[in-house]
């Protein structure tokens, strides 16, 4: 038997081949070209120089080389270990390559209209270093030569402006615990470009980090912390820092979980930073499960299906094996997948437990209920069952951020972007309770400003979380949720009474409005009100905190300075008209002095990101100067 095993068994042998893929006409390397061995389907993409390294087995006879805008080539595998491939432009596919918006180079071309142009694959490749034939979304004028990022889509952000306190005394919004914008922004910078301005949601960047707030001590699951000091980017303005801290529940005491992994296995998930990373992420989460927890796995591509029925968290090997067997292919029936996942979650519902769908996808739905409106209606109806929705986003190129955020918002859940395995560890291991276990739902804030102290104010970020003032007391109005141990931070920039400002329009005083606050409240600057519901309740509870002008301090905490630094960085990235004296240098100084313990190194990593962005911004401004745009630079 031993001899048979030693000499008789013949496994599939493998070897590694290398190669370089270049443009046939100019000889330049093509980045991110796809190289796939057949029939094994092992796949890699080329690096910045067009080079690849591919593992093949003895059954592989050919490998296929493809890149949008070029003719696909099939290469016969020989005994050679290195291959040189020259790709030729495909004029037919180029007729379908449409770019929305301009880069600096495109502006110098004759175009058919003011918003679109056809360009060659070579021109596209030279501008972006990414796949050709793509749609630019959220064009950032700050980046004259920024890379094109395929068909990624982002909801347009209209930045909050200053509001006069005597005309608009109330400011109402839903809290946001999502942090996807930060890790997505990091992906852009790490890949060598600044993000589109609409990809920058400042509140999500701030809330990516934990802050050292005091835990709640009473019966309420949320504590309110405030700090008031001069704004770093304008010493004549004030910055109000509001911190919320949710109670922490130790993992052994967390309620049992009924989870459904809803996994996109469509063809668009075939890249290494999509399905393979997704599987590794969910394996990390599986390691956190207890025997009282259970997991089902639903997948969707051209159709949806149940891969694993609800299984105890004690059977980790069974769950991981089911994940390992997944492969990508087909179109994306996202609506059908969601419907099946909700059905499975409802059938295995745990009363007083954590019932949740974890949707992992690039958001590229194109079959069935694929529109944002249809998805909203489906999820709004299903969330009434008590099943929450967490959304994990993966990949680049065709990433649909706008759709992912909509799904999480409407599903009483949270949204994270996973750009690497360490981010998966942060979201699914380090923040396990905060990500998956809700302790307060429909959390809303309403601030009332005293016009005798506050001339005008501006909420920094939260543009897509604003509520009508009457929504604060309406328990039917959906809002954000806080998980175990979660922190949420919000910042207001305040212009005190008597301070002249370019941001306040000159409007005649109204005849019929009260212009003075009651004398008994003249020491109060503002009042913060918070509403929340217990996870299984339908009626909200209210908290309140008063902030007085005398509370202003120049000796600020690490919490205050670091959050201010992140907000300032966000304003620089999105070219905020309210950035005032903001600078990358000031961001670095602020953050460097407010790192605190930084056990996981997230704040240190933030500093490196800022330094990288600073270098890129400087280079882009130099390009603007060389292109004769010095006047534009001076304005910026």
What is the spatial distance between Cα 410 and Cα 299, in angstroms, rounded to a whole number? Answer: 21
Check residue 131 and give its pLDDT.
33
Residue-wise pLDDT for 14-30, tens only, equals: 899 999 999 888 788 88
Query: Which has more pLDDT, 97 or 387?
Result: 387
Q: DSSP 3-state assignment of 415? A: strand
Q: Is 129 left (phi over 0), alpha (psi -120 to 50) or beta?
A: left
Reported confidence tier of residue 622, pLDDT bands at 50, 70, 90: low
One-letter-per-residue 3-state SS of 143-175: CCCCCCCCCCECCCCCCCCCEECCCCCEEEEEC
What is the spatial distance between Cα 32 and Cα 13, in angstroms, rounded to a whole number? Answer: 27
Handedness of CA 614, 618, 623, 627 (dihedral sign): positive
Structure tokens at 344: 């499975």
Query: Which has more pLDDT, 238 or 329?
Result: 238
Q: Are residues 25 and 45 in the same domain?
A: yes
What is the spatial distance between Cα 24 and Cα 361, in angstroms, rounded to a whole number? Answer: 35
Identify whether 271 is part of a domain: yes
CA 534 from centroid of its chain's CA atoms? 27
Check residue 150 and give its pLDDT.
61
What is the spatial distance between Cα 331 and Cα 577, in angstroms, rounded to a whole number? Answer: 42
> Would you say 223 and 213 are in contact if contact means Cβ atoms under 8 Å apart?
yes
> Would you say 77 and 60 are in contact if contact means Cβ atoms under 8 Å apart?
yes
* Mean pLDDT for the stretch of residues 263-269: 86
Query: Which has more pLDDT, 160 or 119?
Result: 160
Residue 50 belongs to a domain with what CATH number? 2.60.40.1120
Check residue 122 and give its pLDDT.
46
Q: Are residues 381 and 529 in the same domain?
A: no
* Mean pLDDT for the stretch of residues 7-15: 60
One-letter-per-residue 3-state SS of 574-625: CCCCCCCCCCHHHHHHHHHCCCCCCCCCHHHHHHHHHHHHHHHHHHHHHHHH
Does residue 431 register a pLDDT over 80? yes
Q: Are residues 219 and 328 in the same domain?
A: no
Q: Are residues 232 and 307 in the same domain?
A: no
Check residue 606 and give its pLDDT.
97
The pTM score is 0.73
Instruction: Name which of 48-57, 170-179, 287-296, 305-314 the model is least confident about.
Output: 48-57
Task: Give 302-369 as a DSSP string.
Answer: SSEEEEEEEEETT-HHHHHHHHHT----S---HHHHHHHHHHHHHHT--TTSEEEEEEEE-----SSS
Identify whether 457 is part of a domain: yes
Residue-wise pLDDT for 224-258, tens only, equals: 999 999 999 999 999 999 999 999 998 888 999 99
Please list the alpha-helical segments (H only) found in 62-176: 91-94, 104-107, 121-128
Q: To which residue do tokens 């080389």 refer?
A: 65
* Average pLDDT for the chain: 82
Check residue 403 and give its pLDDT.
77
Reported confidence tier of residue 401, pLDDT bands at 50, 70, 90: confident
Q: Are residues 360 and 272 in the same domain?
A: yes
Q: Of 55, 89, 123, which residue is a domain's last?
A: 89
Q: Rounded to 5 degrees, what are φ and ψ at 573?
A: -65, -40
Per-range mean pLDDT, top range of 11-15, 114-118, 259-263? 259-263
Identify whether 528 is part of a domain: yes
What is the spatial distance between Cα 380 and Cα 378, in angstroms, rounded to a whole number? Answer: 6
Q: Are residues 469 and 326 in the same domain?
A: no
> Would you say 493 and 458 are in contact if contact means Cβ atoms under 8 Å apart?
yes
Q: Are residues 612 and 491 in the same domain?
A: yes
Residue 366 belongs to a domain with what CATH number? 3.40.50.410
Check residue 506 and give its pLDDT.
76
Structure tokens at 592: 């460097």
Residue-wise pLDDT for 461-501, tens only, equals: 999 999 999 999 999 998 999 999 999 999 999 999 999 99
Residue 370 makes CB contacts below 8 A (sequence gap 6+) with 332, 334, 335
Reported confidence tier of residue 127, pLDDT bands at 50, 70, 90: very low
Instruction: Supply the range of the domain harboring residue 41.
Output: 12-89
Residue 407 makes CB contacts below 8 A (sequence gap 6+) with 359, 363, 375, 379, 389, 391, 415
> Would you say 453 and 497 are in contact if contact means Cβ atoms under 8 Å apart?
yes
Q: Are residues 468 and 601 in the same domain?
A: yes
Identify whether 367 is part of a domain: yes
Q: Of 392, 409, 436, which residue is a domain's last?
A: 436
Q: Are residues 294 and 354 in the same domain?
A: yes
Check residue 317 and give its pLDDT.
95
Q: DSSP 3-state assignment of 55? A: strand
Identify whether 633 is part of a domain: no
Torsion of CA 214, 220, 224, 225, to 10 degrees: -20
Structure tokens at 175: 């809290």
Check residue 582 and give its pLDDT.
96
Query: Which has more pLDDT, 405 or 370?
Result: 405
> Would you say 306 and 296 are in contact if contact means Cβ atoms under 8 Å apart?
yes
Identify whether 606 is part of a domain: yes
Longest CA–CA span in the chain (Å) reads 102
Does residue 450 register a pLDDT over 70? yes
Check residue 276 and give its pLDDT.
92
What is the spatial distance between Cα 44 and Cα 32, in angstroms, rounded to a whole number? Answer: 9
Q: Are residues 218 and 281 in the same domain?
A: no
Q: Are residues 460 and 540 in the same domain?
A: yes
Check residue 143 and give its pLDDT.
41
Query: Which has more pLDDT, 458 or 517?
Result: 458
Identify whether 390 is part of a domain: yes
As for how many domains the chain has, the answer is 3
Check residue 371 and give its pLDDT.
56
**DSSP letter assigned to residue 89:** B
Q: Rounded to 5 degrees, what are φ and ψ at 317?
A: -65, -40
> Which element (helix H / strand E) includes 2?
helix 2-3
Query: Which has more pLDDT, 632 or 255?
Result: 255
Q: Are residues 244 and 260 in the same domain?
A: no
Check residue 175 and give its pLDDT.
94
Q: Which of 471, 534, 501, 628 is nearest to 219 (CA)?
A: 534
**DSSP letter assigned to residue 423:** H
Percentage with pLDDT > 70 across the chain: 81
What strands, in cross-sheet order, belong to the sheet with 388-394? 304-312, 294-300, 257-264, 354-361, 388-394, 415-418
Residue-wise pLDDT for 54-107, tens only, equals: 989 989 999 999 876 678 899 999 999 999 999 987 654 333 333 322 233 333
Identify whether 269 is part of a domain: yes
For the beta carbon of residue 421, count every other beta carbon within 10 angstroms.
12
Check residue 136 and give its pLDDT.
27
Does residue 34 register a pLDDT over 50? yes
Reported confidence tier of residue 352, pLDDT bands at 50, 70, 90: confident
Instruction: Name which of 211-225, 383-397, 562-576, 588-602 the model is least confident about.
Output: 383-397
Instruction: Name which of 8-12, 156-160, 264-268, 395-399 the model is least confident about.
Output: 8-12
Does residue 549 register a pLDDT over 70? yes
Q: Of 89, 119, 152, which residue is a domain's last?
A: 89
Residue-wise pLDDT for 551-590, tens only, equals: 888 899 999 999 999 999 999 999 999 999 999 999 999 9
* Mean pLDDT for the stretch of residues 609-616: 94
């Amino acid at each position: 038997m031993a001899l048979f095993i030693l000499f008789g068994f013949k496994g599939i042998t493998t070897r590694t081949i290398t190669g370089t893929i270049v443009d046939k006409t100019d000889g330049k390397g093509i980045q991110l070209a796809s190289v796939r061995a057949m029939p094994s389907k092992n796949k890699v993409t080329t690096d910045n120089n067009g080079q690849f390294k591919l593992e093949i087995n003895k059954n592989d006879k050919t490998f296929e080389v493809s890149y949008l805008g070029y003719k696909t080539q099939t290469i016969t595998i020989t005994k050679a270990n290195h291959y040189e491939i020259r790709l030729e432009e495909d004029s037919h596919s180029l007729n379908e390559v449409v770019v929305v918006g301009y880069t600096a180079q495109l502006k110098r071309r004759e175009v058919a209209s003011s918003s679109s142009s056809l360009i060659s694959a070579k021109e596209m490749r030279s501008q972006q270093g990414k796949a050709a034939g793509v749609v630019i979304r959220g064009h950032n004028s700050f980046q004259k030569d920024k890379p094109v990022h395929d068909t990624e889509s982002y909801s347009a952000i209209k930045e909050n402006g200053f509001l006069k306190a005597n005309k608009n005394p109330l400011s109402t919004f839903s809290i946001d615990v999502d942090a996807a914008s930060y890790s997505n922004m990091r992906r852009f910078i790490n890949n060598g470009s600044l993000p589109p301005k609409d990809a920058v949601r400042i509140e999500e960047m701030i809330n990516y980090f934990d802050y050292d707030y005091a835990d709640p001590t009473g019966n309420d699951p949320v504590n309110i912390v405030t700090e008031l000091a001069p704004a770093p980017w304008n010493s004549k303005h004030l910055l109000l820092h509001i911190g919320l801290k949710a109670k922490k529940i130790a993992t052994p005491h967390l309620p049992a979980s009924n989870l459904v992994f809803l996994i996109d296995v469509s063809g668009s998930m075939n890249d290494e930073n999509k399905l393979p990373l997704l599987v590794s992420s969910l394996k990390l989460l599986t390691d956190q499960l207890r025997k009282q927890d259970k997991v089902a796995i639903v997948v969707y591509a051209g159709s949806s299906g149940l891969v694993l029925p609800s299984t105890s968290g004690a059977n980790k090997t069974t769950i991981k094996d089911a994940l390992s067997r997944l492969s990508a292919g087909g179109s994306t029936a996202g609506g059908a997948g969601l419907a099946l996942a909700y059905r499975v979650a409802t059938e295995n519902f745990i009363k007083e437990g954590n019932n949740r769908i974890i949707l992992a996808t690039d958001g590229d739905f194109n079959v069935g209920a694929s529109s944002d409106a249809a998805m909203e209606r489906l999820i709004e109806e299903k969330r009434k069952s008590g099943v929450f929705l967490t959304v994990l986003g993966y990949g680049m190129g065709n990433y649909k951020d706008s759709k992912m955020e909509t799904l999480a918002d409407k599903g009483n859940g949270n949204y994270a972007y996973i750009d690497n395995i360490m981010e998966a560890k942060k979201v699914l291991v380090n923040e396990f309770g905060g990500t998956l276990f809700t302790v307060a739902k429909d959390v809303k804030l309403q601030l009332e400003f005293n016009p005798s102290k506050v001339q005008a104010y501006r909420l920094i970020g939260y543009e897509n979380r604003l509520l009508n003032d009457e929504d604060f007391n309406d328990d039917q109005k959906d809002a954000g949720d806080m998980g175990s141990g979660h922190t949420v931070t919000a910042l207001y920039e305040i212009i005190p009474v008597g301070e002249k400002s370019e941001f306040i329009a000159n409007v005649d005083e109204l005849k019929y409005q009260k212009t003075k606050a009651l004398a008994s409240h003249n020491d109060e600057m503002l009042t913060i009100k918070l509403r929340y519901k217990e996870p299984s309740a339908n009626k909200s509870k209210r908290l309140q905190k008063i902030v007085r002008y005398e509370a202003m301090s120049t000796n600020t905490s690490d919490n205050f300075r670091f959050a201010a630094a992140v907000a300032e960085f966000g304003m620089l990235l999105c070219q905020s008209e309210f950035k005032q004296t903001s600078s990358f240098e000031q961001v670095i100084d602020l953050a460097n002095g407010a790192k605190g313990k930084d056990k996981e190194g997230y704040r240190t990593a933030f500093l490196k990101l800022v330094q990288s962005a600073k270098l890129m911004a400087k280079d882009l401004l130099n390009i603007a100067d060389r292109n004769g745009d010095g006047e534009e630079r001076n304005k910026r």
